[in-house]
Amino acid sequence: MALGQSADQPAVADRRHRRLTFFWTAVAVAFTVLTVVLAVDQVRVIFGRQWLGGVILLTNHYLYAILGLLLPLTFVFFPAGKRARRDGVPWYDAALFAVGLAVCLFFFLNAVNIVDQGWEFVAPDQAIYVSYLLWLLVLEAVRRAGGIAIFTIVLVLSLYPILADRMPGPIAGLASTLGETAAYHTMSIESILGIPMRAFAELVIGFLIFGVALQHSGGGKFFLNLAFALLGGVRGGAAKVSIFASGLMGSMSGSVITNVLTTGVMTIPAMRRTGFRPAYAGGVEACASTGGVLMPPVMGATAFIMATIIEVPYVDIAVAAVIPSALYFFGLFVQIDAAAARLDLEGLPREELPALGPTLREGWYFVLAFTLLVFMLVYLRREALAPFYATAILIALNQIFPHNRWGRQQLLDFVVATGKLLTELTAILAAVGLIVGALSMTGMAGTLVNDLVFLAGGSVLVLLLMGAVTSFIMGIGMTVTAAYIFLAIILAPALIQGGLSPMAVHLFILYWGMMSYITPPVALGAFAAAALAQASPMRTGLEAMRLGSIIYFIPFFFVLEPALILDGAWPDILLSTASAFLGIALAAGALQGHLLLVGDLTRHAVLQWPLRILILLAGLLFATPGGGLVPWSDLQMAATAVLLMLGALTLIALARRRGPAEQTGGPAR
């Protein structure tokens, strides 16, 4: 059996979801199919026409319809708590489902009146009463789907307009009544129907469906087998397979945890078998899965919301992220190769690896679907249509060839899995919209921008450091998407006022929000990998933090030098990119104690630490752009780095002259 074949299961069992009866499964399937039909019609997939134009007259018609189909399903899929019933849907959740459906139907039927008569400002009493219900339903939905942390944050901030005039000076705002706040939250285009829901309904749905189709049609198995065929036999091959497979799957699934639980099932045991310690193996998988979400072409839901906020085509976001994601995976690859070389870790036996030819013959259509997606995104710039066409091609070819062909049960599983994913994101994004609406209603967003600039003393570097810390903390308590949206409104304008590139600023926030997945004490990605590796969660988190340490610097690199996000002249882009790759190679080698073309840096127990520190500093100086906010020029930075490297080479020569010493322990065994 090929190594990747056990990854055929599209997802690891999720204890958060209920096991549904036949009736509720039929309801979930029907609502999911209707959602997909609406999304397909909205972007005019079929012959470029909108066939439901007589029903969906306005954008808020469409958004209320999507909300009405998916929000009630939250109470079907997600139990009320850990001790709640998980077999079937209890009466109180059936009641919440019915109320949610009725409330959204009310707004759908009154969508024209809401726009024409300005109900978000002056609404009839019955609309306000229904608004209270929708507000409460969204809060309960996000509690179930997103957790208590994001529920608490959304609850407090959504109520803020009622108390805004009683707050201290820096966070004071315009006050509103409870009824006015409810009406604004539910009927304006700035809150529940704001940027998060609009981006989700108009762009994200198609990509989510593509990701689920890829998993359920055997894409995970194919990419794992392909990675094992290409890299499984080289030194440290199992860990390099994790980078390749998790990077590809993560870029299309958009979920760190899902990626860890699908690809990690195969890569972590393979890493342990070839000599990597359990915690190290888990750290590799967590870093690879986290980096996958930052890698084009899909990059998860947050990137589409970013495109909506800064009003650029999504493909511009994807193109800008190419070099930063390549730098991250390059640093991870160099560290793994260095650890494997220093500890002489072999690859997997060739006879146990899948052959490249048969792997490609069985799964070539995954590559075709992926290529079609990229072609439509980059060359045709049809980001709304691309995932639907790619999904259609993928499913059609999957049914033609026998390897992973769906039967009735597999098709049902695919539709239900799609419904679960769409429902979860709807609950979270509608709730995040409440935060956006509260900031918009009170005018607090502009006030906080000025306050942040004042606190930073006008220094953009200080503001960047404040932004990094804030993004990381927000990423702990909220989903990455929620944290990004909040900071895109509050922090990004202050950084842009300081003269930084808008694209670089928004990517900076996204990257730092992702740090929490591999950084203790939270490190959700690392903790998920630790469970598969049977290792200490905290030790796995620390290993992931060290392996992914380059990611802490990369956002500063591209903020200081926009050429690294392809914003500049080609000579500047090439020079900056080459310098960054050189610097990261040196820094990664220093962190792992083995440098390419030099060898083991740990041969002498006394000299290794000064040596590694010199090389690490040289690498960071090569990679960090000079000029602008940095007081040294590129030439001064490079000259200092060269001097540090000369010092390091002198220490290497001294250590070798004194003869080999006892090896020190390494990170991988």
Domain ranges of the chain: 22-197, 579-669
More confident residue, 469 or 446: 469
Mean pLDDT of 411-437: 93
Q: Is 77 helix (H, G, I), strand (E, B) or coil?
A: helix
Residues linked to residue 19 through DSSP beta bridges, in sequence order = 87
Query: Which pair of tokens denotes residue 479?
Result: 């989903």
Query: Which pair of tokens denotes residue 181?
Result: 């706040």
* Alpha-carbon distances of 454 from 164, 172, 383, 488, 498, rounded to whole Å: 21, 16, 39, 18, 12
| Residue (of 445, 455, 424, 450) closest to 488 by Cα position | 445
Q: How far apart are CA 38 and CA 424, in angstroms?
A: 18
Q: How far apart are CA 4 and CA 395, in angstroms?
A: 21
Mean pLDDT of 48-60: 81
The answer to whether residues 492 and 505 touch, using CB atoms and an 8 Å cutoff, is yes
The answer to whether residues 264 and 532 touch, using CB atoms and an 8 Å cutoff, is yes
Question: Hey, what amino acid is at 417?
Answer: A
- DSSP string covering 544-576, please? HHHHTGGGGTHHHHHHH-GGGGT-S-HHHHHHH
Nearby residues of 93 by Cβ (< 8 Å), 6 or more positions away:
75, 76, 79, 80
Q: Is 583 helix (H, G, I), strand (E, B) or coil?
A: helix
- DSSP string covering 591-658, please? HHTEETTTEES-SSTTTHHHHHHHHHHHHHHHHSPPSTTSSS-HHHHHHHHHHHHHHHHHHHHHHHHT
Q: What is the largest CA-CA distance in the chain?
A: 87
**pLDDT tens-digit readout, 566-625:** 998 999 999 999 999 999 999 998 988 888 878 888 777 777 888 889 999 999 999 999
| Most confidently predicted of 93-102, 110-119, 149-158 | 93-102
The answer to whether residues 528 and 518 touch, using CB atoms and an 8 Å cutoff, is no
Nearby residues of 341 by Cβ (< 8 Å), 6 or more positions away:
235, 236, 594, 600
Q: Is the pLDDT of residue 86 over 70?
A: yes
Query: Which pair of tokens denotes residue 158?
Result: 């959504």
More confident residue, 337 or 606: 337
Note the pLDDT of residue 8: 42
| Residue showing tokens 């995040």 | 432
Q: How far apart are CA 652 and CA 32, in angstroms?
A: 63
Q: How many CB atoms lie within 10 A of CB 253?
A: 30
Note the pLDDT of residue 130: 97
Q: How many CB atoms lie within 10 A of CB 444?
A: 24
Note the pLDDT of residue 477: 64
Assign 465 a pLDDT band (cuts: 50, 70, 90). Answer: confident
b/e code 448-463 from CB counts within 10 Å (16+ = b): bbebbbeebeeebeeb
Note the pLDDT of residue 540: 93
Mean pLDDT of 19-35: 95
Assign 254 a pLDDT band (cuts: 50, 70, 90). Answer: low
| Residue (of 85, 74, 69) closest to 35 by Cα position | 69
Query: Which pair of tokens denotes residue 385?
Result: 């249509």
* Alpha-carbon distances of 342 from 51, 182, 283, 669, rounded to whole Å: 63, 62, 18, 11
Mean pLDDT of 116-130: 92
**pLDDT tens-digit readout, 352-395:** 888 999 999 888 999 899 889 889 988 888 888 999 999 999 99
Q: How far apart are CA 76 and CA 80, in angstroms?
A: 10
Residue length of the chain:
669
The answer to whether residues 265 and 283 touch, using CB atoms and an 8 Å cutoff, is no
Q: How many CB atoms lie within 10 A of CB 90?
A: 16
Q: Is 87 helix (H, G, I), strand (E, B) or coil?
A: strand
Backbone angles phi, psi at 520, to 5 degrees: -60, 155
| Residue (of 416, 40, 488, 429) closest to 200 by Cα position | 429
Assign 301 a pLDDT band (cuts: 50, 70, 90). Answer: confident
Q: How far apart are CA 203 and CA 384, in angstroms?
A: 5
Note the pLDDT of residue 504: 94
The answer to whether residues 100 and 76 touch, using CB atoms and an 8 Å cutoff, is no
Nearby residues of 574 by Cβ (< 8 Å), 6 or more positions away:
none
Query: Which pair of tokens denotes residue 236?
Result: 């440290």
Note the pLDDT of residue 188: 93
